[in-house]
Structure 1
């Protein structure tokens, strides 16, 4: 049976005593009962899902036409990619506030031609032009996201299939205008947009591996940077990112550069004036005139 080793330090009258004990989780009902058990695969009604499972804090569930599906656990590489891309989106939306970014497992309902599902993308975008907004205290979205982003971890094959096949079809049929699949190993990374026939087609990859969003006009990034995750300061002078990364920093730096240039120009003018004065004084001396007498 698995055990948990615990050591505690007790201070009393300046004496320090160390206590050690072991807990056998398997033989301790109160601990075993507290261990969350996945209900993935359980058939529940949509009403039961919203009432019982949507707000579950230990395990995050989605609902696929009556079946509970557990969202897989992320690993650190996925988190690094997630954090970097989140910063990128935050910078873009700070520079161009045209949308809201959604996260923290906020879900939306997809009423599809042959079924209904409830999905909770890792990140999502709601354009201000979207007819359905989300209020500050809402924990679900009543409309259809404009852009959904899923981050793959090294999970079970069925979890990968869910994001790359099942959700791709669902988001397409529901009218999600763009769908990004970001795989920290690069095998399944893909970027889709709806074409005029309502089908997902890959976003064109520009030279040097640049992806440019149609939904977020002006938002672009280098695919290789998803894996390199460079610091934002490293991107300030990069023409791919310069239009939206650290705009305040860029403005402050430009202001400082302008002030430095003005100071340099003033110094150069003062030096030039001093040189002219020295030349004039030398000319007066050649004529036998003491400059101090003037």
Structure 2
């Protein structure tokens, strides 16, 4: 009987990816267009996002920017900024909310747009992709250790749809979490007046459509003959005509 011979040892594939320090990573350039995070010195490629992933991020940026403008908050919302989480680790959240002063600080120095240890963002949002473990476990631990006040995970995965909001309870150093499910509105800890529908987050309308609707409403308001100012002008003119009529009748309108 013949018998196949199996090698006693198998050849192991060597990891040829470069090991980088945080400073080297800030200036590191790759030939392709794939973005890379840095995890303990190793470059981690980020998978190309799906259309749904992109639409969710666009919608959240749109809603956050409107909320900041409406409440006159000196904050900015950015996509694909780096956030340093460990000595030689840096993540690229889908959405970063930070102060305008931090934006200017990062813009003034050379290298990639990465927030350093002493440049803590207020809110980070990740939309779950292929690497669920990274979003739910690894990044949660890193953002918690970096003292990020609020971390949100948007999970559009079928049968697992939720928005998880993690933040520090008052006086605590460990994240607490609340899961918001379809049919509910999420409540942000950093922005308590902001309410967002889980249904709309998970299946968002196109931002382009929202902008068109907004422009249409503004145009209708400009063309409407019943604006508040016009109504006030008409009331003033009516009062002036009545006063003139009373004077013709010999009645002082101020004494009426």
Q: Tell whether the structures are fold-level matches, with TM greater than 0.5.
A: yes
Name the CA shift for 1:208/1:132 in 2 (closer, same or farther; >3 Å).
Answer: same
Given candidates 95, 98, 118, the residue that maps to 2:74 is: 98
Given candidates 114, 131, 135, the residue that maps to 1:140 is: 114
Name the CA shift for 1:246/1:204 in 2 (closer, same or farther; >3 Å).
Answer: farther
Establish whether residue 198 from structure 1 lines up as the match of residue 173 from structure 2.
yes
Q: Does the aligned pair in 2 maintain the 1:180–1:192 contact within 8 Å?
A: yes
Deviations 1:195-239, CA, capped at 9 Å, x for gaps: 23111112475995111212124222011111232467999xxxx
Once residues 206 and 83 of structure 1 are traced to their aligned partners in structure 2, the CA distance between those partners, rounded to angstroms, is 20
Compare CA radii of gyration and give the structure with the larger one.
1
Counterpart residue number, 2:45 = 70
Establish whether residue 258 from structure 1 lines up as the match of residue 227 from structure 2.
yes
Q: Does the aligned pair in 1 maintain the 2:37–2:91 contact within 8 Å?
A: yes
Establish whether residue 167 from structure 1 lines up as the match of residue 136 from structure 2.
no
Q: CA deviation at 1:168?
A: 0.6
Name the CA shift for 1:48/1:258 in 2 (closer, same or farther; >3 Å).
Answer: closer
Given candidates 36, 42, 45, the residue that maps to 2:17 is: 42
Equivalent residue pairs, number: 211
Once residues 218 and 51 of structure 2 are traced to their aligned partners in structure 1, the CA distance between those partners, rounded to angstroms, is 31
Q: Secondary structure at the match of 1:262?
A: helix
Name the CA shift for 1:160/1:136 in 2 (closer, same or farther; >3 Å).
Answer: same
Deviations 1:39-82, CA, capped at 9 Å, x for gaps: x98250214433324x6651211111122111111011111212
Counterpart residue number, 1:3 = none
Q: Does the aligned pair in 1 maintain the 2:163–2:179 contact within 8 Å?
A: no
Once residues 200 and 175 of structure 1 are traced to their aligned partners in structure 2, the CA distance between those partners, rounded to angstroms, is 9
Once residues 190 and 204 of structure 1 are traced to their aligned partners in structure 2, the CA distance between those partners, rounded to angstroms, is 4
Q: Does the aligned pair in 2 maintain the 1:41–1:68 contact within 8 Å?
A: no
Q: CA deviation at 1:93?
A: 1.9
Higher relative contact order (CA 8 A, sep 6+): 2
Once residues 212 and 149 of structure 1 are traced to their aligned partners in structure 2, the CA distance between those partners, rounded to angstroms, is 14
Once residues 128 and 206 of structure 2 are traced to their aligned partners in structure 1, the CA distance between those partners, rounded to angstroms, is 22
Q: Does the aligned pair in 2 maintain the 1:124–1:148 contact within 8 Å?
A: yes
Q: CA deviation at 1:251?
A: 11
Q: TM-score, normalised by structure 1?
A: 0.58
Once residues 125 and 144 of structure 1 are traced to their aligned partners in structure 2, the CA distance between those partners, rounded to angstroms, is 10
Deviations 1:9-55, CA, capped at 9 Å, x for gaps: xxxxxxxxxxxxxxxxxxxxxxxxxxxxxxx98250214433324x6
Q: Secondary structure at the match of 1:229?
A: coil
Counterpart residue number, 1:228 = 203
Q: Secondary structure at the match of 2:167?
A: strand
Q: TM-score, normalised by structure 2?
A: 0.66
CA RMSD, 1 decimal: 4.0
